[in-house]
Amino acid sequence: MSDLLRRMLFLPPEGSAAAADIDHLHFFVILTTLFASTVIGLVAVYFMARYTRRMPDQPTPHIEAPRWLEALFVIVPLSLFLLWFRIGFGQFVAMTTPPENAMDVYVTGKKWMWKFAYPSGPSGLEVLRVPADRPVRLLITSRDVIHGFYIPAFRIKQDALPGRYTQTWFAANGPGTYPIYCSQYCGTNHSTMRAQVIVMPPAEFDRWMESQKSGNSAARDTAPAEPRRDANMVEIGRDLAVAQGCFKCHSTDGTVGSGPSFRDLYRRHEPLEGGGQVTADEGYMTESMMDPRAKIVAGFKPVMPSYFGRLDAPETAAIVEFIKTLRSGSDIGGAP
């Protein structure tokens, strides 16, 4: 039944674990509304035939419906809407809450291409390689205008916004190749802003990732002549942090300076001036670099300069990945 409805509605194959649940809600909403519309239409036609005025001066009878019937007309549609909301809200929470063991991939939209970067591996243009049956979290941003990262087969669509990160996640069902589109009109060549997801068997993906780490350039999907291609994001982020002077205010050993220490910063709950707190995730750390006065940590002065226009999206992501490695007990080096 699901396959028949999917074909009737011209939906692509269900390529992710969440796709089937989303389709079932889609089918449920369509079938119930179609059934209700059909019943209402047939009743309307019957009433038109049954209660047509026979004579020009025929009076219209006054009819008072019983209270139970009025209640039924309210309760049944309301119950359906609440049921749709309950199912849809549960799916929304599940799709916006990636598992703890999800593999991170940074996605950057730019007129008119998609770039993908693995924190401990390569970066690539137009091709996203992922393992089957493993959760993958996408951290999405844009270098220019608003784009929309859309994989129809996975039933995921997420805006890419300049200067901030949004996220979504998926777990691909099995090996295959699926198209990626931009769902937000972004300029002249919007329709050509395409890429593809290549889902590989887990063992094959692991071998591919190792070959990328070891510098096997024959297997790369990246464009030529990019600087520091063999370095991973953590190494690039460390070099950028040195070049941008981050260590003048932020230590890597837990010592408090002019700004909070980078040590154990990731996912830490920071109290804010004026009350409240914020979780230092990818979005917050990016916002702190682009607009440092937006959320000021309690006990620190607003002296950090803005890096908006000085760091592009991949550079910001690299610094974030470097900060994420600075955990107590880790052997990742900090400032030289």
For residue 137, what pLDDT is reported?
Answer: 93
CATH number, domain at 163? Answer: 2.60.40.420
Read off the pLDDT of each residue in 34-46 and give the average, rounded to a whole number: 94
Enter the pTM of the model: 0.70
Distance, in Å, from the CA atom of 31 to the CA atom of 11, rounded to the nearest integer, reads 16
* Residue tagged 């260590």 (tokens): 247
pLDDT given for residue 334 in this prediction: 56
C-alpha to C-alpha distance for 320 and 148, rounded to whole angstroms: 23
Residues 331 and 234: their CA atoms lie apart, in Å, by: 13
In a domain, 228, yes or no: no
Confidence of residue 140 (pLDDT cuts 50, 70, 90): very high
Q: How many domains does the chain have?
A: 3
For 267-286, the pLDDT digits (tens) are 899 899 888 899 988 888 88
Residues 6+ apart with CB under 8 A from 117: 105, 106, 108, 123, 124, 233, 314, 317, 318
Contact 111, 142 (CB under 8 A): no
Segment 226-283, tens digit of pLDDT: 444 446 788 888 888 888 888 888 888 888 888 888 998 988 998 998 888 999 888 8
* The domain boundary residue, chosen from 174, 190, 219: 219
Domain with 260 in it? 233-325
Q: Are residues 146 and 192 in the same domain?
A: yes
Among 38-47, 109-118, 158-167, 214-223, the minimum mean pLDDT is found in: 214-223
Confirm whether 227 is domain-assigned.
Answer: no
Per-residue pLDDT at 172: 94
Burial class, 322, CB count within 10 angstroms (exposed 0-12 / middle 13-18 / buried 19+):
buried
Residues 111 and 154 in one domain: yes
Tens digits of per-residue pLDDT, 50-103? 888 778 887 877 878 889 988 998 998 899 889 989 999 999 998 888 998 899
Distance CA 68, CA 122 (A): 66
3-state helix, strand, coil in the chain (%, to 5): 35, 20, 40
Give me the CATH number covering residue 312.
Answer: 1.10.760.10
